Structure 1
Amino acid sequence: GQVVDARGQQGDLHGALDSVGGRGILKTSELGYDGKGQARVNTDAGLRAAWDDLGRVPCVLEGFVAFEREVSLGVARSPDGQVAFGPLVENVHRNGILRTSVYPAQVPGSTEVRARELARAVADAWNLEGLITLEFFVLPGGDLLVNEVAPRVHNSGHLTQDGGGISQFEAQVRAVLGLPLTDWAPLLPCAMVNVVGAAGPDGQPLTPDWAAIDALSGTRVHLYHKDWRAGRKLGHVNLVAPDPETLRERLASLEPLIP
């Protein structure tokens, strides 16, 4: 990415878009998450306008990547150097916010091997004590490109709460305390759907069909007890099934129940 000058001088804007391939995403260097603090740009005029809209704060301009899918992987490391991994999870976003995470990811086994190699390299290089999560773009041909490193347990790992085995939260505690570490992939196929504040055409909040969600086999609701706000993560629904095909069928039934 290329850093845009934040001192009222637009020199860094000139030629920046061409340097990343003519299309990109302008992101604030700090406090950007869940689609906030970012804008897609494909013209120099649009880049200038986007920087103005973001308050002319320090930003990074990232080139647009034509990826096939996004996956994420948690890695935990203890003070004595033990390393363990979470499941490779496939993610889908909507409006810049994570919508669904599914395990197992529909990728070849070699993709997970490479993701673990990269995650271990980061954990060892940073002398990690605890758990971090890496997000990857899977490129055409199968190569992986690290898109983000979250220094914590991650939204995409919440499905480990209900898939059997230990959760990412237990893995974090084990790593920090130096307890024995083990990989924490779920024992069953599972998915997560985020509950995000949504509004209808009249601006009024839309509510998930909780009764239908509870009636759907394999679901468990996790709410954060936050006040409603458009675009705010209010909770998530985990879904477990005995096999990947049943999981896909149940997920297709669950998603329309959550605006």
Structure 2
Amino acid sequence: MQKREVPWARGILYGVYQRRLRRGLTPDVLPHHVAMIIDGNRRWARQLGFDSAAHGHRAGAAKMREFLKWCDDLGISVVTLYLLSSDNLTNRPTEELAELTKIIAKLAEELSRYRDWRVQQVGSKAGLPEPLVAALNAAEARTARKKGLHINLAVGYGGRTEITDAMRSIVGAHLASGGRLEDLAETLTPDLIGAHLYTSGQPDPDLVIRTSGEQRISDFMLWQSAHSEFYFVEALGPDLRQVDFLRALRDFARRQRRFGG
């Protein structure tokens, strides 16, 4: 006779497993900066029969609030969430994009009022609707002096655009200081370029996680992730469990980082 699985028993076993995973993650093996590519929200909505992708985006935003708590409770210092790419601004249906920007604006406002978290947009404001720009600016201003978890909201973000903007900034600063254009090449270094990125002054991500089983980086932190470790989770964004995250951290702790070697 086949035994039936008891849901509450499975929950107990997951709880035990989760606590065991967490006990094995000491501060010395944890990443300082985790970057998350939240993917699969639209697929999640379709699979559940919703007629709008907004249901998936709202569920994904709720999961990201939960994810940030997991990171904060473990003592991780910086988290970057990839929420809206610059490509999304041109390749998503207008109605879906309007709903998504409202969801991001609400998320930014909520995060800026939670714990001692600092919120910062990384990306360009070009092409973003004014209400979203206002919400991001307000969140940054409200949390500017906070010292807790540093949250980067990658909104209107593109890795190639970021590097392009950094080079333009370097050229502009060089010329403004009286430097000659022909001398600029001698001043260029990786550190100088890094100082002009959206994430200037922050550590590069140690670990980049992507949900939904897709194994690509989609123009995300191209410069900063040069030496990052990558981990791909099968779960769709809204279905991400703490156990999945702890497994990613355990995998990271077991890797021998080579930093390009």
The alignment's TM-score, normalised by the length of structure 1, stands at 0.24
Structure (1 or 2) with the greater strand fraction: 1
**Structure with the larger RCO, 1 or 2 (CA within 8 Å, 6+ apart):** 2
